[in-house]
A = this chain, B = another copy of it.
Amino acid sequence: MSETSANESRLVRVELGERSYDIQIGRNLLAGLGETFAELFPGAKVAILTDETVAGLHLSSVEKSLQVAGIESHSIVLPAGEKTKSYEGLIRACDAVLDTRLERGDLVIALGGGVIGDLAGFVAGIIRRGMRFVQVPTTLLSQVDSSVGGKTGINSGHGKNLIGLFHQPSLVLADTSVLDTLPRRDFAAGYAEVAKYGLINDPAFFTWLEDNWAEIFNGGSAREEAIARSCQAKADVVAADEREAGQRALLNLGHTFGHALEGMADYDAKRLVHGEGVAIGMVLAHEFSARLGLCDPAVTDRVIDHLKAVGLPTRIDDIPGQKPDADLLMDFIAQDKKVSRGNLTFILTRGLGQSFVEKGVDPVLVREFLTEKLAEN
């Protein structure tokens, strides 16, 4: 096996003053994890939070790497799936970390996808009023999005990510070779967030993706390029607006619709995973923008074409199972964190890669739009 050494990996810095940290991106980083930790966090013990699926694939190599480096580690394996991002999963994970008797200065490792990253970051943020943690994302979605920026949390019966906090990791290790074992559907779901960075404000990146997506999926060097550019885009936005007072909201392109669709599908991964909700949500955001006369409908067609090409759903009708009604979707949208004084905030667009934050969206217009979309499907 030929290993890429650490200095061949790409580095993206998230600039947040005393909370700044690096994102390392490259192949076979897991094998060197223990060494990296020994250098960056001397003396710290670790608790590895992971799920059953990821544990089966990657836990033993992480444990071995830590052991070789002489680092005490404790592994906590939770059930796989969005249901783990719940009150129950939170309590179980907190108690398990407390069982290890780790101290404030020790580390929690989030080894897994977005669910584990969001949960482990939350757990680290509230144990002993804040332990350090390291994101080791094992899905494309978590490598390009959820592991960067410090948003953590769980879902409640009221909606997604309604309980959580901002807690920045001390390091993100994105090992791109672990994506080789990722099911294609999950890879595509993560790719929706990659495409999102193009659609927010980088039309050249979107065009590059249209030309290079096959290599990204197949594991060529375009994959590291796409991940690094995505992380850089996110890092820039987060550095400018850590707690989403303004422009960070751009990262929610497609998410308000997407979250509502996920809620409607009861967070059932068989029906819809997050990235698929975002894909459909981004199409809806473009269609809604077109309907408001903001954006040329041809742009929407181009977005749909590309998302379809990589195998993503693009219509509410693509979601299997019972079709939602507009009331149910509006109910989820009203519970979204991005609501202010009854007005809705949406990310709208004036063209390809020309998104902007619109705070004063009248719920009546959204309901009309959704009602029509549901009727035409």
Chain B residues with Cβ below 8 Å from A99 are: 158
- Say whether, besides A129-B337, A165-B125, A87 and B98 are in contact (CB < 8 Å): no
CB distance from A344 to the nearest CB of B (A): 11
> With A103-B339, A103-B341, A340-B104 in contact, is A128–B91 under 8 Å at CB?
no
Residue pairs across A and B with Cβ atoms less than 8 A apart, 16 shown, are A94-B156, A94-B163, A95-B156, A98-B158, A98-B335, A101-B335, A103-B339, A103-B341, A122-B126, A126-B153, A126-B164, A127-B162, A127-B163, A128-B337, A129-B337, A130-B243
Q: Does A293 contact B (CB under 8 A)?
A: no
Distance A334 CA – B162 CA, assembled complex (angstroms): 34
Minimum CB–CB distance for A19 against chain B, Å? 12
Known A103-B340, A157-B95; contact A165-B162, beta-carbon cutoff 8 A: no
Q: A103-B340, A104-B340, A341-B43 are in contact. Are A162 and B130 (CB under 8 A)?
A: no
* Residues from chain B with Cβ under 8 Å of A95 in the complex: 156-158
Which residues from B are CB-within-8-Å of A243? 129-130
Bound state CA distance, A158 and B153, in angstroms?
A: 22
Question: How many angstroms from the CA of A341 to the CA of B43 in the assembled complex?
Answer: 9
Which residues on the B side are within 8 Å of A166 (C-beta)?
A: 129-130
A105 within 8 Å of B (CB atoms): yes
Say if the beta carbon of A255 comes within 8 Å of chain B: no
Contacts of A158 in B (CB 8 A): 95, 98-99
Contacts of A340 in B (CB 8 A): 103-105
- A151 CB-CB contact with B under 8 Å: yes
A157 to B, closest residue via Cβ:
B95
Q: Kindly supply a per-residue 1/0 record for chain A positions 94-133, scoring 1 wherever the CB is within 8 Å of any chain B CB and 0 otherwise.
A: 1100110101110000000000000000100111111000
Beta-carbon contact of B103 and A162 below 8 Å: no
Contact A151 B164 (CB under 8 A): no
Q: How far is the CA of A122 from the CA of B161 in the complex (A)?
A: 16
Q: Within the assembled complex, what's the spacing in Å between the Cα atoms of A94 and B86?
A: 12
Known: A95-B156, A129-B243. 8 other contacts (CB 8 A): A87-B91, A104-B337, A105-B340, A126-B153, A128-B162, A128-B337, A129-B164, A130-B243
Interchain CA distance A94-B126 in the complex, whole Å: 15
Complex formed: what's the CA distance from A236 to B43 in Å?
A: 33
Q: Cα distance A217–B157 when bound, in Å?
A: 46
Picked from B101, B130, B165, the residue with its CB within 8 Å of the CB of A126 is B165
Contacting residues, chain B, for A126 (C-beta < 8 A): 122, 126, 153, 163-165
For A104, what are the chain B residues with a Cβ–Cβ distance below 8 Å?
337, 340
Asked if B129 and A165 sit within 8 Å, CB to CB, the answer is: yes
What CA separation (Å) do A37 and B222 show in the bound complex?
55
